[in-house]
Structure 1
């Protein structure tokens, strides 16, 4: 994980801005989130300086507000302007000696604030607010809220503007999280597997005298530990997946016009037929960043997914990638007994030993494997990418996916499983959008089974596409509808009549002197945009919306110009097509709840901001693989400035206009900047699978009061991996987790930056205190005075027999045959399923010499055990395809070997399941 926070432009002065306090306040309303990140720094510099503040946000979030509080009493507020204009205003203010701030976009997950002319001994609090629609958790009626605490050390070359950023000094002593939840249904649970949070159900605050309300909850976290992983909260709530369409109205202050914003959200639930014949390709990230728990999660995931593939009409292959890419077979092979066995052996051998993360090359290798002399195969293919997504070359990745989808007439679909505690959602979600698939996420210690089967269910199902939304407006309004452009459709500037003939111009005119503002290189075109159309929808493509899949949340936004007194539509209608069959859904329109209304008059309403962010995302996606055109840039800038959002074409700028000005100390790090750029390629090679960290760690003396925080943090890390994990990581990543006792090599998170070396005086004092605390106790205090001979006179201890391995769903899946049956051998029941003995079979299957009868009974026993040992909703979902294949084989075998009809076979299945359940 990479360091974030205050970063001086001169790396030699990196330790002069310690973080003293950090917090995050979160408000969740239904499936929407508003978060305010706050960090307070103190300048210990003796001169005014220019520093940078780097921070992460969720990839689908809209950064909607920025303020900086100076010395706790003066606030400078960010104003959104076109990107280059904001930069010019910032540079002018800094040159004049004013304290100024500039917030700019690097990627959808990484933003940076430049702070100019920070005064000596000045305290500055940086406040950044963002909003987003919460991603689907991959299970029914649930939300997963991820609060990023760092920018991951992505592989490859970062944006040029980030190359000059350097690490921070040392971490904050405190971090506070406060999250309030207001849902439409009853909250049934809130949990966090990543951090020890405190949860209060029934109210919006930790201590409240208000009446218990089951739709409300509050979560808090207070820690002095360094945060090493993103904070993840999971919430379950009744009715959360039901369709809803919220509307907010923003009235003009100068006319009778208004802008209505719509947020249409649903988790589709429909019965879809299975695709009869399809190719399945698994693309596995084996880069160094996947070491430890991540690669183990991938191995378990692959075993379940491969065993869950249809036994008829399927071909499959497994690709591995890092800084190279190879495959188990040159081309996909038929799904048979021998190929499934070979795949299982291959999966067990997977380790994170492939170096860097070249996702773009790997995807292209997969697509090329399907090409022949006649071009790309048009046979349906589902590609599953299992990765942490930690790479910078986003646009090249998206371009490769977009091209493959178009070349195969949409027969190619890409599904992504993001693996790990710190995943690039921008990469994973972007691949899924471009590949007409879905993305879901699992943490390193989380069981991936149910979410994997959800992805597989989507890939095996006939999808709903050709989707359009009827927003309930008259036809003349619907006609004024903007479809996102994929290329320039017209000239940038309006055409004018040719000028009349004039006298020849001189090629050298002394009166035409160059000015300081003249710029070299290509200039931005002066774009004159027409007024926005009445209806702007996102996603909105020329060939309708992206497809919908059962169980995957879909959100559609719209901005519609109307009148302030116009009636609110009663409903909107979704229209689509599934395999030639029309599908429709009417969704009632309701006014947005008061919690989503702006609390200040000048604040842009919540849904308007989300809709504008979605429109910006759609404009950027539409440009892939080509660069953004002048018209597209202008449209993005207009959306950003109109709705106060930071984007690739708009930035926040804040200037302190009061008091005396102090010029910034001249930047003496220009030479080191150039050398840092040139060192990037060698850094990538030396880091290999870790790739290029955004900032290099540094050492700094730390106050004695901070020692306990650092030492506790180190202890926490020590128990995070067992010895086997550490050995595996050392071998796969090419270096030890820690080099000696220098904790400065550990990259630190944004909300609590880097660990540091300890003052020798503090260490000596600590050692003295530790020695005193652990001194030998007096003899009279020793209550455990054992006789030395007691052990000698005892009988020899029996040899240690380790317990059998825990029976997991992955283990059961690995025992299943490719056709769905389970082994007929006695050892399968006694040893593999750990039952000790074989339950008595029904009369029809008592002939133990008949292998088919033994396999039928063993398959029934395995089905009964799966149902009894894995009863939760998530476990039941994960077993779905394993059980379906087993039942299909059971019924087919009864029909073929014993001429049992389908109805009678179903009855025998239920009877024998009950018989077996009593014994497992």
Structure 2
């Protein structure tokens, strides 16, 4: 595979010149129109191939090509038929265009532009609709993927994405312009991005309509992320979209479809309690690509180092009495313990010792086998299993992984984290969806720790069970729910439901959807009334997303095997063609039948590069059975050996590293903690005991900028040293790290609980003295003791 994406060895210009993107966001749904401008600057007829990513579960609903003034609109057809027509057209000298979804992963598409004449221009337009993912801070995330890293395909799996992908080191040789229009029932609070934007312009006085453009000069060498914040974002909504008047009544496209967005709010007295039970299994990618930097900043961490810091924080935050284990995976996998163990001081210390030794040294990215092993382990009664999976998400057997997660959804929940540019959205969001969990992406300058701790908060909250949905509509209307059953609800997190409304409305203008569930043994009911009259100006976005949701369920049934396979495939093709959206068994095909011309010799084939992120790190995920150092040529990846050592050794002093006899000695040495010592918060957390207390010693004093004598001399006489140290740690956290509270909230809760168990009689005096000593003004009430 050529790293720069060109088939020929010469430096021939790639025929893709520009991409223009218009995104229309309506509430929680976005319609994206991308126009790709191709120019054949060569003297021969040309075929261009462009393998590119789209958001997970996007429904491609339009594909057309414009040659000069002539526009050819593609049709959705059965996949093999479309391929045959494309081959026939190209071989006979006709211009043809083929767009198809990868069989291995729903977020990778392949565009073939066939038989471009010398000097000819072609403008390709692709339109897709997708839901906007909700982040833990309630932002809606829109991602325009640019980076498509090679997907590691396990030997013998038959996957084919790796051979098709074209990635480029550095900037791509085409430009990007992006315009975003936002329309919402709720006012827009703000819009942020990882890229430079022009000023957000509000188009009306109540701030429900706005637009913004990507600033000129963007190189499209990284994913473009937008984070949209609405006021009253937790308000449940329902959108009824009218069907196509010319379509058959009773069909999906001919009738109205409703999309309901629910944001359950649970009773505060229930949510204030944290579970002390549970089995938490942390699964960490240790493939070669985890040695890459999280971002391109000068102070960026390696992905594996960020994961290690996060594991430290997680291990300190677990409640006493739960079970836990840690797995590392690459071309093979290993676990810290043969099976999950009870969380206490001894097991925590053992786990932390092994976390320090973790490196990105396990070759490829085979996530399927460790998951199979974990699922084969018996669960502990009354300890629900929670998986936390950390990966840069580059695998070629995504659908096989998702099917495995789905088969075990009743025994666990899965929280997934995509690390770095190019993580597979289909894998990350899919594992969370099928595992009834929550997905997070760590890109750009994001810190991993706050996002992971937000997910831990979800995992430790009481679990919602016995979820049911009931519709109340006029007798003349029937409701067919198109979405799969809801298996999970989290506090303040959105749940989407699509339903087909069949029949004539006899006059009633209102419908009701009621969601009931049980929370800690108590029944809870959420109800939403909505207008049955279709909303105007929504196009067919809701219908197409509903069709994509139904097709997704049918795909899973098909992969599960059994009787009726042909009927399922036929139903998928029928839905895909009827709704005009892509699926694994269909493709978009467009042929310019007026362009027939004589073509001498085979077409020149050019691959269009997508952005890549492996120019400065180890691209070892494409290897499985080769030694990591041999496959990657570690020393060749850097300008000199010192730079290599700095990367491998957490940027420690290389002369001191050389003093260690081998890597294990280095890992065991204090030098390993050099980066940790730069982060006072992580250093404080690393000193906490499993029970929640701290010891009074010089290391703790150093975090506070004090000496051990200063801490000891100010200690009230009747208070023991551990209570005093723990109180000071809490005061310091609330006084100096309040902006990072999401990261240390569980650490503080354990500490406060431990202090209360000590029945200290002079807490008020200790807090006053501690405030003076540390220069803070934290109240006793704030500390929660």
Is TM (by shorter chain) over 0.5?
Answer: yes
Which residue of 1 is the match for residue 752 of structure 2? 887
TM-fit CA distance, 1:386: 1.0
- For residues 803 and 127 of structure 1, do their structure 2 counterparts lie closer, same or farther at Cα, with a shift above 3 Å needed? closer
Which residue of 2 is the match for residue 535 of structure 1? 480
2: CA distance, partners of 1:247 / 1:690: 57
- For residues 635 and 199 of structure 1, do their structure 2 counterparts lie closer, same or farther at Cα, with a shift above 3 Å needed? farther
TM-fit CA distance, 1:910: 7.7
The alignment's TM-score, normalised by the length of structure 2, stands at: 0.81
SS at 2:720 equivalent = helix
TM-fit CA distance, 1:77: 1.2
1: CA distance, partners of 2:603 / 2:621: 25
Which residue of 2 is the match for residue 392 of structure 1? 396
- For residues 626 and 913 of structure 1, do their structure 2 counterparts lie closer, same or farther at Cα, with a shift above 3 Å needed? farther
Which residue of 1 is the match for residue 192 of structure 2? 191
The answer to whether 1:846 aligns with 2:716 is yes
1: CA distance, partners of 2:770 / 2:517: 41
TM-fit CA distance, 1:227: 2.8
Which residue of 2 is the match for residue 450 of structure 1? 450
1: CA distance, partners of 2:223 / 2:529: 36
For residue 727 of structure 2, the aligned residue among 860, 864, 885 is 860
2: CA distance, partners of 1:659 / 1:834: 77
1: CA distance, partners of 2:642 / 2:116: 48
- For residues 110 and 414 of structure 1, do their structure 2 counterparts lie closer, same or farther at Cα, with a shift above 3 Å needed? same
Retained in 1: the 8 A contact 2:179–2:213? yes
1:596-615 correspondence runs (5 A): 596-598=537-539, 605-615=540-550
* Cα-to-partner distance string for 1:257-286 (whole Å, 9 max, x where unaligned): 651222222343324454442221111101
Retained in 2: the 8 A contact 1:356–1:690? no
1: CA distance, partners of 2:449 / 2:221: 25
TM-fit CA distance, 1:182: 2.6
The answer to whether 1:24 aligns with 2:33 is no
TM-fit CA distance, 1:871: 2.8
For residue 817 of structure 1, the aligned residue among 689, 699, 702 is 689
TM-fit CA distance, 1:323: 0.7
SS at 2:64 equivalent = strand
Retained in 2: the 8 A contact 1:67–1:75? yes
2: CA distance, partners of 1:565 / 1:121: 60
Which residue of 2 is the match for residue 261 of structure 1? 257
- For residues 182 and 300 of structure 1, do their structure 2 counterparts lie closer, same or farther at Cα, with a shift above 3 Å needed? farther
SS at 2:516 equivalent = strand
SS at 2:530 equivalent = strand
1: CA distance, partners of 2:512 / 2:631: 50
Which residue of 2 is the match for residue 207 of structure 1? none
Retained in 1: the 8 A contact 2:95–2:595? no
Retained in 2: the 8 A contact 1:386–1:419? yes
1: CA distance, partners of 2:591 / 2:696: 77
1:566-581 correspondence runs (5 A): 567-581=508-522
Which residue of 2 is the match for residue 83 of structure 1? 79
TM-fit CA distance, 1:606: 1.2
2: CA distance, partners of 1:690 / 1:624: 38
What count of residue pairs does the alignment treat as equivalent? 714
2: CA distance, partners of 1:59 / 1:725: 37
TM-fit CA distance, 1:442: 1.6
Retained in 2: the 8 A contact 1:154–1:691? no
For residue 119 of structure 2, the aligned residue among 105, 111, 121 is 121
1:510-521 correspondence runs (5 A): none
2: CA distance, partners of 1:809 / 1:184: 41
Which residue of 1 is the match for residue 315 of structure 2? 306
2: CA distance, partners of 1:473 / 1:200: 41
TM-fit CA distance, 1:303: 1.3
TM-fit CA distance, 1:464: 1.7
The answer to whether 1:437 aligns with 2:446 is no
TM-fit CA distance, 1:99: 1.1
2: CA distance, partners of 1:127 / 1:69: 8
TM-fit CA distance, 1:612: 1.1
- For residues 828 and 180 of structure 1, do their structure 2 counterparts lie closer, same or farther at Cα, with a shift above 3 Å needed? same
- For residues 633 and 162 of structure 1, do their structure 2 counterparts lie closer, same or farther at Cα, with a shift above 3 Å needed? farther
The answer to whether 1:136 aligns with 2:1 is no
The alignment's TM-score, normalised by the length of structure 1, stands at: 0.70
- For residues 651 and 567 of structure 1, do their structure 2 counterparts lie closer, same or farther at Cα, with a shift above 3 Å needed? farther
TM-fit CA distance, 1:94: 3.0
1:734-883 correspondence runs (5 A): 806-825=678-697, 827-835=698-706, 846-847=716-717, 853-872=720-739, 875-883=740-748
- Which blocks of at least 5 consecutive residues in structure 2 are unaligned? 294-301, 606-618, 651-673, 778-785
Which residue of 2 is the match for residue 60 of structure 1? 57
- Which blocks of at least 5 consecutive residues in structure 1 are unaligned? 204-210, 479-533, 599-604, 670-679, 694-716, 733-801
Which residue of 2 is the match for residue 767 of structure 1? none
TM-fit CA distance, 1:60: 2.1
2: CA distance, partners of 1:688 / 1:265: 49
